[in-house]
A = this chain, B = another copy of it.
């Protein structure tokens, strides 16, 4: 599991007084940084090896400005060339959102998906989500 703690910004709120839902995909993508580094340790933009195929986000409770948020990031599936990232937002000891991102290992040169190497697969395996 990767854990990142962020402080919500005033600009993240909306007129209902809570964090706007469109910020959650931004936070989740930000918290996938360590997963990007597994594929490209120097975050090299010239040979970026990943594509995002799909996201799902569940909004489970209102998220507030004024209290820190922990983003927990897990791997929940590892396929041949794709894998799923499962993420949760926690605020004030409550899970307030969860989501999944389907990512594909991609070779921009050939414009085709690429098999996940055994080395990377082993690293992803260290962050597997296992329901309690």
Contacts and interface: CB of A to CB of B under 8 A. Distances in A.
Interface residues of A, number: 35
Interface of A: prevailing SS: mixed
A11 interface: yes
B29 A45 contact: no
Interface string A25-61: 1100110110010000011010010011111111100
Copies per complex of this chain: 4
A65 interface: yes
Contacts of A21: 11, 25, 29, 52, 55
A30 to B, nearest CB: 4
Most chain B C-beta atoms within 10 Å of own C-beta, residue among A10, A16, A29, A52: A10
Nearest to A40: B66
Contacts of A45: 13, 15-17, 65
A109 interface: no
Contact of A33 (B9, B17, B22, B59): B9
A126 interface: no
A93 interface: no
